[in-house]
Amino acid sequence: MMLTMRFQKAFRGPLGRSAVVVLAFFVGLVSLTASDDSETYSTNEAPQSIIVRAPHVQLATPSSIVVVWRTEKRINPVIRYGDDPANLLHAVSNQNITIRVALGTNRAEIKQALEKSPEIAHFPRLHSAVVGTWQYEAKIAGLQSNSKYYYAVYDGDTRLTGRDPSYRFTTHPLIGQSQPMRIWVVGDSGTAREGQSLVHHAMTLFTAADRRPLDFYLHLGDMAYNRGRDTEFQSRFFKMYEPTLRNVVCWPTMGNHEGATSKGTNGVGPYYDAYVCPTRGEAGGVPSGTEAYYSFDYGRAHFICLNSHDLDRKPTGAMAQWLKMDLERTKADWLIAFFHHPPYTKGSHDSDREKQLVEMRTYIMPILESGGVDVVLTGHSHIYERSMLMDGAYATPTIAENVILDDGDGDPNGDGPYQKSAGIHPNQGAIQVVAGHGGARVSRKGTIPVFRKIIVEHGSVIMDIDGDTLTGTMLNKFNEVRDTFSLIKRGRINPRRILNPWQPPNWRPPRSPGEDESTVEPPEDFIEVIPKNAEWHYLVDDDPEGLSWTQLDFDPSDWPLGPAGFGYADNDDRTVLSNMQSNYARIYIRREFEIEHADYVAEIGLMINYDDAFIAYLNGKEVARKGVGKGHGHEAKEIKGHDAGKFVYVALKDFEKHLKDGRNVLAIEGHNANKDSTDFTLDPFLIIED
Same domain, 475 and 535: no
Strand partners, 308: none
Going by the DSSP 8-state scheme, the letter that residue 641 receives in this structure is P
Q: Does 154 have pLDDT greater than 80?
A: yes
pLDDT of 599 reads 77
Q: What is the CATH number of the domain that holds 396?
A: 3.60.21.10
Q: Is residue 173 part of a domain?
A: no
Same domain, 145 and 199: no
Q: Does 17 have pLDDT greater than 50?
A: no
Determine the Cα–Cα distance for residues 664 and 552; give it in Å rounded to an integer: 6
Same domain, 217 and 314: yes
Q: Is residue 496 part of a domain?
A: no
pLDDT digit string, tens, across residues 306-360: 999 999 999 999 999 999 999 999 999 999 999 999 999 999 999 998 999 999 9
Q: Is residue 517 part of a domain?
A: no
Q: Is residue 21 part of a domain?
A: no
Strands of 276-325, DSSP E: 294-298, 301-305
Say how many domains are in the chain. Answer: 3
pLDDT of 690 reads 66
Whole-angstrom Cα Rg for the chain: 27
pLDDT of 16 reads 46
Same domain, 154 and 189: no
CA terminus-to-terminus distance, the chain: 27
Is residue 493 a contact partner of residue 419, using CB atoms and an 8 Å limit? yes
Q: List phi, psi (to 5°) of 468.
A: -95, 15
Q: Is residue 19 part of a domain?
A: no
Peptide bond into 226 cis (omega under 30): yes
Q: What is the CATH number of the domain that holds 150?
A: 2.60.40
Domain residues for the domain of 533 are 528-689
Domain boundary among 427, 461, 489: 489
Q: Is residue 48 part of a domain?
A: yes
Q: Is residue 518 part of a domain?
A: no
Instruction: Identify the three-state secondary structure at position 165.
Output: coil
Same domain, 144 and 190: no
Confidence of residue 66 (pLDDT cuts 50, 70, 90): very high
Instruction: Identify the three-state secondary structure at position 634.
Output: helix
Determine the Cα–Cα distance for residues 318 and 550; give it in Å rounded to an integer: 50
Same domain, 407 and 464: yes
Q: Does 15 have pLDDT greater than 70?
A: no
Determine the Cα–Cα distance for residues 394 and 359; give it in Å rounded to an integer: 9
Over residues 421-449, the mean pLDDT reads 96
Distance of CA 592 to the CA centre of its chain: 31
Q: What is the CATH number of the domain that holds 626?
A: 2.60.120.260
Same domain, 484 and 538: no
Determine the Cα–Cα distance for residues 644 and 502; give it in Å rounded to an integer: 48
Confidence of residue 597 (pLDDT cuts 50, 70, 90): confident
pLDDT of 520 reads 66
Is residue 436 a contact partner of residue 461, using CB atoms and an 8 Å limit? no
Is residue 603 a contact partner of residue 651, using CB atoms and an 8 Å limit? yes
Determine the Cα–Cα distance for residues 502 and 487; give it in Å rounded to an integer: 18
Same domain, 84 and 190: no
Same domain, 131 and 198: no
Distance of CA 72 to the CA centre of its chain: 23
User: Pick from 32, 51, 82: which is nearest to 160 by CA?
Assistant: 51
Is residue 382 a contact partner of residue 440, using CB atoms and an 8 Å limit? yes
Same domain, 562 and 441: no
pLDDT digit string, tens, across residues 617-672: 999 999 999 999 999 999 999 999 999 989 999 999 999 899 999 999 999 999 99
Same domain, 240 and 380: yes
Is residue 443 a contact partner of residue 456, using CB atoms and an 8 Å limit? yes
Q: Is residue 24 part of a domain?
A: no
Same domain, 227 and 347: yes
